[in-house]
Amino acid sequence: MIKLIPADDLDEGASRGLECNNKYLFAIKKDNLFHIYFNICPHLGTPLEWQEDQFLDESKALIRCATHGALFDIKSGNCLVGPCKGKSLRKIPFVVHEGVIMIDENDLRSPSIF
């Protein structure tokens, strides 16, 4: 298992970009639950954010791709609006062990986006 981030480092309603083994990910804490995804939009394979750690829309209710405005459900990663509607972000399984969010290195294999 790889240590990703201390769970206390992510505030409620916040998102954070992360790098792990040369893969770009992001984490969100919403309703006291964590969600971790690859930072790859399923539309064109671009990173989701233009500004550091800015993965959520203004209401902090949805994940937003800054490139074409696609909106994704935080819990499922499903695209609800935008050019990739019907596709989803690739969620990464994790565990919280002794206050640290940890992921399995095998889950970092590059996602297929098309």
30 is written with which tokens? 């919403």
CATH of 2-108, one of 2.102.10.10, 3.30.1370.100, 3.20.20.140, 2.40.128.260: 2.102.10.10
Answer yes or no: is pLDDT of 112 > 70. Answer: no
Where in the chain are the domains? 2-108
Compute CA distances 79 → 9, 18, 23, 57, 66, whole Å: 27, 21, 21, 13, 13
Confidence band for 92, pLDDT divided at 50, 70 and 90: very high
Collapsed DSSP state (helix, strand, coil) of residue 9: helix
44 is written with which tokens? 């064109």
- Written as one letter, the residue type at 44 is L
Percent of the chain residues past pLDDT 70, beyond the cut: 96
CA distance 10 to 16: 7
pLDDT (tens digit per residue) in 44-80: 889 999 899 999 999 999 999 999 999 999 999 999 9
Model pLDDT, residue 50: 87
The arithmetic mean of pLDDT across residues 22-36, rounded, is 96
Collapsed DSSP state (helix, strand, coil) of residue 108: helix
Answer yes or no: is pLDDT of 114 > 70. Answer: no
Confidence band for 111, pLDDT divided at 50, 70 and 90: low
pTM of the entire predicted model = 0.92
